[in-house]
Amino acid sequence: MKNGSLLVVNTLPKNDPAVQAAIGALTAKAETGEVMHTEDMKIQPCVGCNFCWLKTPGVCAIRDDYEALLRALLRYDTAVLIAGTALGFLDHRAKHIVDRTLPLATMYTHVVDGQMRHIPRYDKRFRFGLLYAGAGEREYLTYWMKRFALNLGGNSLGAFPIEEAGEVSLCV
């Protein structure tokens, strides 16, 4: 894993001009990278069984295309999710991706800066960013991304409208 490595996870139609422009802006700044389009993948929602914590540590019990995405998250320094929105938040496709990151943490917790956090399963500082299309509430999405990254022992690059992909690319 090198610095400047980037995983782009796109949950929107890959032929969307805004998506293509965003991917171009992001990958132009990365040393190495990969783009995964989830429209080509079968990814089911998390069912909350906790097998990834209790029975098969680090491995989701659902057998679908998500395993490739989980492995990719571990290979790259930074992951940027390109997502649609619904009701001001992530749409269902992006939420499925985020919910399935649970195997990256353990069920055990500890106190960090006065707050309970899950102990990360891997010795890695994840960096996550979000580009969203639609009427997302930027302030809330930025706050949520910070909390999401924190819960996995990582850092957030923030949440940006898809048209501002160039801003995120400066952080890669």
Element (H, E) at 95: helix 92-99
**Above 70 in pLDDT, residue 154?**
yes
Structural domain count of the chain: 1
User: Which 8-state DSSP code applies to residue 13?
Assistant: -
List the domain range (segments joined by +) for residue 29.
5-169
We report the CATH number of the domain holding residue 103 as 3.40.50.360
Judge if pTM exceeds 0.85.
Answer: yes
Six token digits for residue 95:
């939420």
pLDDT tens per residue across span 112-141: 889 888 999 999 889 999 999 999 999 999
Average pLDDT over residues 56-83: 93
Give the closest residue to 142 by CA, choosing from 89, 82, 76: 89
